[in-house]
Amino acid sequence: MTLDRQPQEKRSEVHGIFEKIAGYYDRMNSVMTLGRHGSWCREVATRAAPGRGGHLLDLATGTGAIALQAARKYPATAVTGADFSGEMLRRARTKPGAGAVRWLQADATRLPFGDGSFDAVTEGYLLRNVQDLEGVLREQHRVLKPGGRLVVLETCPPSGLVKPVVTWGVRVIVPLLGQIVARDRSSYSYLESSTLAFASPERVAGVLREIGFQDIGWRKKFFGTNVILWAVKPD
């Protein structure tokens, strides 16, 4: 979830937030989603379907939730978990099964991999933290092999009849949970604002289509506040 093309001050601020919240990141994800986060990570890994002997890259891996699910589901696949936060990666390396994953500190805007290196790319909550959405997705398109799959777990701005209620909940409850669970209201105030300001699935799908992805789809989760998107790089 690196932000190289953003102003340095903004990049440093966001990097500092993720370094700070690493110790309670998993707990807060579980609390904020009423325990659903783990099942979403399993769905992302399932949809990636890298194939036996393939290579999967999990970007914005954080503490490794999706990467570890992929490694368990596809033991014959080489899984790489990459993140810009060293503290997140340090905690990922301590988890059961972490030895099955290659952990790497990397910049999502300039991935240190050759063209067509991976059969699948997954990511969790990366795109809302970057300024150059198209540039980051182009990098993922570049490192995917023809026929490779991209699967994205992201927050989703509320819409429809429930928008006022959900917006209120995100603005009030997320920072409050940050204060109660993590003793850190300010970091989760940022996450609340980035959730409400992020692009709709329709917009992300449009960018994916412009880049050259096909077979694009998505499924909203948890009152429309989260979404799983998927796409395929053409053969």
Q: Which residues are annotated as a binding site?
A: 63, 83, 107-108
Tokens matching residue 119: 């059969």
- How many residues in the chain? 235
Q: Which H/E stretch holds residue 80? A: strand 78-83
Mapped onto helix, strand or coil, the DSSP state of residue 2 is coil
Helix %, strand %, coil % of the chain (to 5): 50, 20, 30
CA separation for the pair 141, 56 (Å, rounded): 13
Is the separation of the CB atoms in 162 and 169 below 8 Å? no
Q: Do the Cβ atoms of 194 and 155 come closer than 8 Å? A: yes
C-alpha–C-alpha distance, residues 151 and 52, integer Å: 18
Report how far residue 13's alpha carbon sits from residue 131's, in angstroms, rounded to the nearest whole number. Answer: 14
Q: Give per-residue burial for 149-172: e unless 16+ CB within 10 Å, then b.
A: bbbbbbbbbbeeeeeeebbeebee
Element (H, E) at 214: strand 214-221
Binding-site members for S-adenosyl-L-methionine are 63, 83, 107-108
Please state, in angstroms and rounded to a whole number, the distance separating the CA atoms of residues 96 and 88: 15
